Each structure stands twice: as structure tokens, then as C-alpha cells.
Amino acid sequence: MSNAATGEGIGQPVRRKEDFRFITGNGHYTDDIARPRQTWAYFLRSPHAHAKIRKIDTRAAEAAPGVVAIFTGKHVADDGLGGLICGWTVSSKDGTPMKVGPHPILALDTVRYVGDHVAMVVAETLAEARSAAEMIDVDYETLPAAVALAACQSKEAPQVHPEAPRNTCFEWELGNKPETEAAFAKADKIVKLDLTNNRLIPNAMEPRAAIGEYDKGSGVYTLHTTSQNPHVARLVLSAFVGVAPEHKLRVIAPDVGGGFGSKIFIYAEETACVWAAAKVGRPIKWTADRSEAFLSDAHGRDHLSHAELALDKNGKFLALRVKTVANLGAYLSTFSASVPTYLYGTLLSGQYDIPAIYVEVDGVYTHTAPVDAYRGAGRPEATYLVERIVETAARETGIDPAEIRRRNFIRSFPHQTPVIMAYDAGDYEASLDAAMKAVDHKGFPARKAEAEKRGKLRGLGFSSYIEACGIAPSAAVGSLGAGVGLWESAEVRVNPTGNVEVLTGSHSHGQGHETTFAQLVASRLGIPMEQVEIVHGDTDKVQFGMGTYGSRSGAVGMSAIVKALDKIETKAKKIAAHLMEAAVEDIVFENGTFTVQGTDKSLPWAQLALSAYTAHGFPSAEIEPGLKEGAFYDPTNFTFPAGCHICEVEIDPDTGVTRIVNFVAVDDFGTIINPMIVEGQVHGGIAQGIGQALLEHGVYDPASGQLVTGSYMDYCMPRADDLPSFNLGFTKTVCPSNPLGMKGCGEAGAIASPPAIINAITDALGIRDIEMPATPARVWAAIQSRPRAAAAE
Amino acid sequence: MPVVAMTVNGKPASADVEARTLLVHFIREHLGLTGTHVGCDTSQCGACVVHVDGRAVKSCAILAVQAEGADIVTVEGLAKNGELHPVQQAFREHHGLQCGFCTPGMIMTAVDLIRRKPNLDEKTVREELEGNICRCTGYHNIVKAILAASQAMR
């Protein structure tokens, strides 16, 4: 029976293979693992945003009950360990490389944000480690801190790193300045907008954790850690930090409870645990509590931008110019330089044919936690800017918001934008039309009037977004400063009994790869999904791979599997031809059976698999025994998911509370393997986007640099009753740059939704802008400050 | 150190624990039942919800000694004779989980909610989930799963 007939084929909403262990409490997250004789680590963190460390006295702590060892920055430095690195180099306009301050594992003489790592206490129990840490006496000389982003580039601002004067890491530009200036000079209309993209704290529900171990006999280090990309972690820890040679370091990322970017990065804690395990001679375990996660996980977003859009008299866009200041935090995290530059500036054309674009981005150090990729990474910031200014242009020109978008949509492909990207396929009007239909756009005036009768304000907001996903190809990212290649790997191992193990360099931390990937393999080989095991997350088992982020595991990871399956089929056909004494070109493989065209000769999959290993009578010069193939897949382009989200809100003017009454998302992800999983990804992304637009804000006190929103009582995570159910639809243009035609769906919701919500709120209130998060207090204040005429409308 | 004794998933369980040991740490560290998770340190996220004498309780919010003599059910004890609980089944059927970390707490909360309020609607489910945070699903499919389970259990 074919996989389509069993309901397991491509395009089927197959229920997830991984669910059983999670719904029965049998998952294995890092903190669930206990290693024999393990000790516990606790990190003493800086209580100051900026201070010199005059002295650290650990004597009393060392004598505390249960303490095994205490490590400070001096121990790390004495051991010759390197610091943490940024894997992406960005250059300034003048050609100079970004200015990077050192990022030690444990602070040496200066702390640069609240939560910076000062010492690691290793003890028999976590409680003992924590108690002992309180007995460490650190003599700090507190210094003024650079916190408020807008003020950090001034001459007077406290310096985060002496290497970066005025706290400026880079002054990057992209696009064509003279062409942009010329277009502005002849514009009929110029629309200007200042925008804040609020700081977010990722908050995967599983806090980061690590267990470091060292085997004296073999000299092998093992690190269990909450990683989205264990091979990259191993590479950085060996080649740059110098913990151990790559072949003597095993990194395992078991079940990982969400990442959203925050678990891409290589952090101080896991580095210290695996390094110190050899010193202590016992495994060292560390699990962040939520307060530590707030302080030390890499944060997201945090941009200040000024944007200007030039239009002709028909509402056609002529040019866009943008100046952005991006907060990098106190140290460069693993990919932080790429996020506000190549993942941001390159998407500023949106879905529109804009002949000239020029963007300048200053990357700025502050005395706050490092800022790096968080779901969408640069693309939500770009989409927010583009869709807010397009909406503002519609209102200022009096052109209907849908119409101004239609007038400017890119309609022929491939399309080269002025900011690097070559869009390969899309139909932006199709998703706009579908979304308008789904939201009942025609009925909106009546709904608005009805709401007004009840004293409520209704608004409708559009967001026609595009993103670049599948972060790749290697040549492209290499030319833009990436220190790594961005391909993916796969190995398909057919066992003698016919079942299959697929080793993938992708990593699943909620995305359902064990199901989707198995669906692909099972349908290709014509075997039941239960006979396919997806193996990931262990550098000892899996060949080098690049991991999961940037919605790349479908388009890149599955393409690598396709390539390996192609090789499997080629070899299997050779074996089948030999066994059935036929010419290889006459062998047909369908629904798990090999047949010789035009005959009744056939061979089932399982028999072929066994024959591959018995290898009796193989012409050994032509056919090797066994059936196992590997592939590395490097795509030819990024993929370009796109679509239209429309949000309808109703605001209570008495309380300022915004209720989302309808949220429509129509997305074009190309080929979809499992629509149930894809819809789930969109739901989660929209929820995070609504969080950004209405609820979430990472706030530091501008004077002290203390994190004000350091717990779930202060940082407003979206709860179930903050959100509506979502109304989803799909359109489809196949992606031409990978064999499955996939585009990626993991980030679209978070990228598209914030401007739809803010456009809806500003529409409802009749105002130009409101800062995210549009909390009830802000909305209420905006209503109070409206001109009387607008308020009376 | 005090000895605490209780029934966990139908079996007697006891251990010497430090008096400050939270019930969640007793369950995870002493009994090795790691399905119950810790997602925060302010009793907000609900990843640690278990049943204490039939009621949903955040096991990070009570001490192990407070559960002396209690009848505790964790997510590991929900399926009976190899048969998944209808709420577990509904979470799988409706894709009510992604990374799975909040899932045990969500499921234990949902079982208690359906017991308390057999006639659920979407609004009630959303309000009742106030104490459980999920970062993956946007709650859309969790709500769907709980409503479906409550239907199935009627």
C-alpha cells in the first residue's frame, strides 16, 4: 500500500511520533539526566551593570559545606582558554572590521552587565553551591553604565569596551546612497517615521542547562547541553575556546524544550561546566533558574530606526532610506553581528518593487545582556519598518492600504532587489486577496460602526511580509561575513532488516522533525513511518551538521535527506538489477517494490535490504556490500516565504485594553509536508508576535542598568487568555531552489504579525504611531492625547 | 533531616529530605520522576503541576513535607494499564504540544479543569490556563485539545 493510502504521505497531517514520550513524561531533557557522581554548579553573577573587580575572596566559600571547587576568571585565563566568539564579521562603511571587545568565560577584571559571570561554584548539591556562592566576597568598584540605547554613542557615555570608541561596534551600510538620494530629490511625497523595535527576552520554557564530563581514560569530554546546533557548539568549544580537540569532545543536545534562537549560541555556563569537569574529575551539572535565564540568555530585537519612503504622485514607491541603531548588549554573542545587518537590511524591500534603497545600521554596545537572534532575527525588525511606513504612506496619501500595496507589489520573478536578495518565486497579491476574503474586509465598515455603537474602537491592520529563510547558501553567506558554511547534512542507513535510520544535522526542539522527516523518507521508500528513526543531536552519532534556526531544516535539512535518498535509490537499483538479472535502467522502484519493467519480476524493499548485506555473489568490483549513503546539501539561494497577515482589533477607550477579534494569516511556504505541524508553527510565531506588539518588553533601568523585567511577574508572557484562536490559510508558489520546493515556516508568524497589530491599533485610534508593546496604559494615554476632533469622530 | 512519606502514582514513596525541599524536587530528584518540569522560579509557568489528593497543584509552590501522607499523581501516573488518558490522547490528536516541556503541567491542569468544569467553552479554558505558560503553540491547539477531551469524557 502506498503511503498516500495509509495517510502518511507528503501533505498529510500525520500525528507526531515524538508526542508519546512527551505526553507520558518520558522525554529526556538535559536537566532530567543524572550522571554518576555528578556535582552541581552555581554561577555567581554580577549585581552591577558596570564595575571593576578589585578583588575576589573565595576563602570562606571554599570552606563551606559540600563545596568541591570554585573557579574565577583567573583560573580560566591561567588555563589558556579563549573567550567566546562572534561567528560573523561585519565591516563598517569605511571598510574597517567591527570593533570587538573580549568576551571571557568568567569575568577577569570588569563586569559589563547585570548577570555577567563572576565565579562558578561546584558543590555536592545545588543548594550547597548556591549557599557557598553567597559567601564569595567580591570587591567591586561600581562605574556608570551605558544603558539607554539612544544615548550610548555620545562622547559622554560610559565605555563598554575600550576597543570600541563611543560604544560603536560597526557603522554598516547597504544599498545605493546616490541613487536613493536622487530618487528622494524628485519625489512627490516623502513619508517619515521613527520606530522602536522593543527588546524581547526569548523564554523558551526549558531553561538552559548543561552537564560537562571528562573521561580520564580516553581523554574525551562530553557535554550534554540545550543546543539547537550541537556540532557548531563543538566546533566553537574546540577550535576557538580550546576546551578540547574536536575529536575528543562529544556534544549531545537531547530533548530540547524550545529555542527560538536563544539556544543557537555558545554560552559561558556550558563552556565552564565542560572545561571544569576535567579539573574536578566528576561530572558538573548546571541548570538555569528562570531568573538567570532572564539575565543571561541572549535577548532579541532592540532597534531605534528612522525611516523615509519616497513616492511619486501615483503612490508608487521610489526609494527607501533607513537609519537604525541596533543594541548589541555588552558582548557580541555567537551570531549577533549578522542579525541587525545581513538578516535585516537585506529584507527592507519587503514585497515591493523599490528601485533604490539605502540603509545604515550602527551596532552599539551597552551594559546589558548580549542581543542576538530571536525568532525571525532581523526580519521581524525589517518587516515592522516596511509595513509600518507603507501603512503610514497609505494614510498620508489617502490611498487604500490594500491598493497601495498592490500598486507596488513585485510581480515578476526572479526579482533582484537593491539590497542583495534575488527573490525567486511568489504571488503576493494571491495571499493579500485570500487574507482580505478571510477577514471579511468588505464587512469591516459595518463591524466598525456596530462597535462604535457599543462605545468601542475597531481597527484593521495589514502586514504583507517577506522573509529570507533556509539560511544558506554557503557561498552567499561567506561573502557576507559568515565564518561558517550554511549547508546541511544527512545520512541514510538502511539496516539489513529493511528499517531505516536517518541521521540529520538538523536539530528538533519542538519542530517535529522526527515526524516530518520520517514522512518524507517513508513515502520515498514505500515503508511505514514506524520503520524510520530520525537521529539527531549527538556529535558522536551524527556527521557534522549546521543545526536548526532560520527556518532552515525543511528547505535545507530535508533536501540533504532527499539527496542521500537519491543515492540510496541509485545503489538499490543496481543491487536489484543484479539480483533480478536485468539491466539497471529497466528497474522501477515504486511503493517499496523493485520491479523489472515489462516483466513480472519483483523484489520487495526488505528483501533487497537484506541482500545488500548478505552480498552473496555481488560482483564486488561493481557493487559494494551494504546500503548506507550520506549527502551534504548546499542550496542555490535563500528561500522566500511570504504572505499576508491581517489583524482586526477592538479597543475599549475607557481601559485602553486591545482585544484581537480576528487574526488572519495567509502564508506561502511552498510545498508543505505536514500541514498540522506547519499550522502549529504559525500559531506559535503569531503568539510571539502578539507578545511583542501588545505585552512583552525587556526593560533595563536606565540609571542603574538593573533588569526591571526579570521574572514572569514583570515580563508579560502571552497567556492563553491574551490570545485569540487564529484563522489560517495558505497559498502556494513552489520554491525553485530546492528539490522539495519548500520555503520554511518557523518564523513567519513572529515576522509578520507585529505590524499587522500596530497598524490595526493606529487605525482604530486614528493616530500615526504607538510604541510596542501597545499596553493598555499606552493605548489609554494615546486616546487621551488625541486631538479633540479625532476623539469625537 | 525529616522523612517524608506519601503515595506517588499509586505506590508508597518516602525519603529523607532537607526540610526546604520543594515537592517538585522530591519528585524529580528523589523519585527520579522527571516528567514534572521546572520552568520558572516564581510559580507562574505551571510546568510542575501535579495532582495532590485529586487537585492540580504547582509542585514548586509547596514543600515536600507539606505533602506528607498525600496521594500524588504525576504525568507518569496518568495513563492506566497502558491506555493513555483522554487528555493525553487529545493533546496528541490535536497537536497540542511542540517542544513538550510545558506539556506535563498543561495536561495535569487540563485533567483537573475538566473534572471541575465538565461543560467547558473556549473562553473558560483560556481563563483557566492563566497559570500555565506555553511558548511554542500559541495555545491554539492546547485549547482545542482540552475542549475535545472534555467532549470525549462527557
A350-374 residue pLDDT tens: 999 999 999 999 999 999 999 999 9
A598 and A512 in one domain?
yes
CB A167 within 8 A of CB A153: yes
A98 part of a folded domain? yes
Q: Tell me, yes or no, if A23 comes closer than 8 A to chain B by beta carbon.
A: yes
Number of domains in chain A: 3
From residue A40, alpha-carbon distances to A62, A675, A782, B24 in Å are 14, 42, 50, 18
What percentage of chain A exceeds 90 in pLDDT? 94
Rounded to the nearest 5°, which phi and psi values hold at A119? Answer: -155, 155
DSSP-derived 3-state class of residue B36: coil
In this prediction, residues B115-125 reach a mean pLDDT of: 96
In whole angstroms, what is the distance from residue B50 CA to residue B68 CA?
15
Nearest to A680 among B95, B102, B122 (CB): B95
From A584, A617, A633, give the residue that closes a domain.
A633
Residues forming a β-bridge with A642: A466, A668
Strand residue runs (E) in A330-417: 356-365, 415-416
Q: Quote the domain boundaries for residue A132.
A: 37-143+205-258+263-296
Size of interface A-B (CB pairs under 8 A): 183
Residues A558 and A703 grouped into a single domain: no
We report the CATH number of the domain holding residue A464 as 3.30.365.10
Question: Residue A13: inside a domain, yes or no?
Answer: no
Provide the CATH number for the domain around residue A115: 3.90.1170.50
Q: Are residues A643 and A614 in the same domain?
A: no
Which residues of chain A register pLDDT less than 50?
A: 1, 790-793
Task: Compare CB distances from A290 to B40, B75, B136 and report the shortest one's residue.
Answer: B40
Q: Inform me whether the C-beta atom of residue B130 falls under 8 Å from chain A C-beta atoms.
A: yes
Q: Which domains does chain B have, with CATH numbers?
A: 3-77 (3.10.20.30), 86-152 (1.10.150.120)
**Is A124:A77 a contact under the CB 8 Å cutoff?**
no
CB A345 within 8 A of CB A175: yes
Interface of A with B in 543-582 (CB under 8 A): none
| Same domain for A698 and A604 | no
Same domain, A467 and A502: no
pLDDT, residue A791, reads: 47
Does A291 reside within a domain?
yes
pLDDT per position as a tens digit, A37-88: 999 999 999 999 999 999 999 999 999 999 999 999 999 999 999 999 999 9
Q: Do residue A687 and residue A646 come from a single domain? A: yes
**CA–CA separation, A135 and A128 (whole Å):** 11
Q: Give A745→chain B minimum CA distance, Å.
A: 13
A187 lies in some domain = no
- Tell me, what's the pLDDT at A793? 47
Whether residues A274 and A344 share a domain: the answer is no
Identify which of A267, A304, A305 has the alpha carbon closest to the alpha carbon of residue A287: A267
pLDDT at position A122, please?
98
Scan residues 54-73 of A and list those with Cβ closer than 8 Å to B: none
Residue A438 at interface with chain B, using a CB cutoff of 8 Å = no
Q: Do B92 and A16 touch (CB under 8 A)?
A: yes
Q: Which among A633, A662, A692 is the end of a domain?
A: A633
Chain B residue nearest residue A674, CA to CA: B95
| pLDDT given at position A216 | 97
A173 lies in a domain?
no
Q: Is residue A200 part of a domain?
A: no
Alpha-carbon gap, residue A401 to A422, rounded angstroms: 26
Nearest chain B residue to A207 by CA: give it. Answer: B39
- A542 within domain boundaries: yes
Q: Above 80 in pLDDT, residue B81?
A: yes
Looking at the fold, whether A629 and A573 belong to one and the same domain comes out as yes
Domain end among A580, A611, A633: A633
Residues 51-70 of B with CB under 8 A from A: none
**Strand A51-57 to A110-111 pairing:** antiparallel
Please report whether residue A232 resides in a domain.
yes
H helices of A554-616, in order, are 559-579, 605-614
What integer pLDDT is reported at residue A7 of this predicted model? 79
Residues of B in contact with A18 (CB under 8 A): 100
Question: Do A513 and A536 fall into the same domain?
Answer: yes
Q: Do A334 and A436 fall into the same domain?
A: yes
CA angle A288–A290–A292, rounded 5-degree value: 55
Count the alpha carbons within 13 Å of A538 in the hemisphere toward its beta carbon. Answer: 9
Average pLDDT, chain A: 96
A64: part of which helix (H) or strand (E)? Answer: none
- Cell triple for residue A583? 539491466
The answer to whether residues A610 and A504 belong to one domain is yes
- Do A121 and A246 lie in a common domain? yes
Whether A27 sits inside 8 A of B100 (CB atoms) is yes
Q: Quote the CA–CA distance of A609 and A788 in Å, as a whole number.
A: 79
Rounded Cα gap, residues B84 and A390, in angstroms: 51
